[in-house]
Amino acid sequence: MNTLDPAITLETVEDVSAIEGLAEALYDWLGNTEQTVGCTLEEFREGMSASEHAVTVIAWKAGAVVGWADVFDPAEEEGTTAKHVVIPTESVHLDVCRSLLQAARVLAGPAGLQWDTDNGPAQRQLAAELGAVSTELGDHVWQASVRDRPALAELTGLPEPMSVRALSDPPTDEELAQYARLYTAAGEPRCADGCTAVWDSAAIADMLAERDPDQLSFLLEDSAGIRAEVTVDVDVVGGSAGIWPVHGQVAADELAVLIATALEEVRVRHPHVQSVRTYVPDTAEVISAGLAGAGFTAVGRDVCYRFD
């Protein structure tokens, strides 16, 4: 397949594990060790094989993998025929990303292609060059580096650590009741048979049971019980993670302690993770301030680009 950079060649595959040596090449590009990639080669191969994407585009340069993109079919409930493209690592060079987007656009054909990303300068440049149109400007994107972080006690502007701990496994009945009060106070939506912001212990138990076992959950509590939660989703392939704070009535500096503690745990438990990001609406002022206090930076806004 032709690319915008003649030195880059692209290979389109439907099952990475079915091609001899390809999973190994991707694993090498990500770091080639369980510590840097986040899983063993066999686990990586099985994960790529089990992925539900329609096709993977591999970018090669000088005989080595330099990036890849997954192209997904839309879910039925989305009400669109446009395919989605995901480029699952931040270490992809601009020229490689350009070539991958071009290839994904060709693969999508008349159905169209959507690229959910943030509206940073590089993304805006690529969208303009390839004729994409911004269809939706969403939440603010906040990001923090996990490597080379100062120790928690050295983070300026933070109070002494409050009572922060991991969620019990399994959670106790009292924790479930406190969780329900927290999620109700925070106005977290619960959509099963219709949507509501009122939670009970049974609904919390169902929600926690559906979480990935690799997720990390940390709680901020005082004598009144659980006052905030941070959940971290680790991407074992892309070297990144997502962090999701929930709070009722806490101060920003208190929330910052909880977020910073979660980042430290990610740094220790998942050495391959380089960065953590989250998405925050305009109205979540305490969360934005807490992220800033924990060392996050606002890097743009979530945006959906459409290629027709």
pLDDT in tens, 226-276: 889 999 988 765 567 889 999 988 889 889 888 988 888 888 888 778 788
DSSP 252: H
Is residue 26 a part of any domain in this protein?
A: yes
Strand partners, 65: 60
Is residue 152 a part of any domain in this protein?
A: yes
> Are 172 and 106 in the same domain?
no
> Are 177 and 63 in the same domain?
no
Final residue in a domain of this structure, among 111, 126, 152:
111
- Predicted TM-score (pTM) of this structure: 0.70
Rounded Cα–Cα distance for residues 245 and 123 (Å): 26
Is residue 222 a part of any domain in this protein?
A: yes
Q: For residue 182, what is the domain's CATH number?
A: 3.40.630.30
Cα torsion 163, 164, 167, 168: sign: negative
Sequence-ordered list of residues with C-beta below 8 angstroms from that of 191, at least 6 positions apart, any chain: none
17-35 pLDDT, tens per residue? 666 567 777 777 666 666 5
Final residue in a domain of this structure, among 69, 88, 111:
111
Is residue 237 a part of any domain in this protein?
A: yes
Is residue 18 a part of any domain in this protein?
A: yes
- Which stretch, 34-43, 54-63, 84-93, 230-239, has highest mean pLDDT? 54-63
Q: Where do runs of H (alpha helix) occur along 210-284?
A: 252-269
> Are 204 and 257 in the same domain?
yes
Helix (H) or strand (E) holding 63: none
> Are 148 and 105 in the same domain?
no
Residue numbers of the domain that contains 193:
144-301
> Are 107 and 185 in the same domain?
no
> Are 56 and 165 in the same domain?
no
Rounded Cα–Cα distance for residues 30 and 238 (Å): 8
> Are 87 and 172 in the same domain?
no
Is residue 130 a part of any domain in this protein?
A: no
Rounded Cα–Cα distance for residues 287 and 244 (Å): 10
Domains of the chain: total = 2
> Are 168 and 290 in the same domain?
yes
> Are 288 and 180 in the same domain?
yes
Is residue 119 a part of any domain in this protein?
A: no
> Are 171 and 285 in the same domain?
yes
> Are 18 and 86 in the same domain?
yes
Sheet holding 225-235, edge to edge: 8-13, 55-61, 64-72, 83-86, 113-118, 297-307, 133-145, 275-280, 240-247, 225-235, 216-222, 163-166
pLDDT at 3: 47
174-196 pLDDT, tens per residue? 999 999 999 999 888 887 666 78
Is residue 94 a part of any domain in this protein?
A: yes
Rounded Cα–Cα distance for residues 103 and 101 (Å): 5
> Are 208 and 89 in the same domain?
no
Final residue in a domain of this structure, among 69, 91, 111:
111
Rounded Cα–Cα distance for residues 288 and 240 (Å): 20
Q: What share of the chain in percent tops pLDDT 70? A: 79
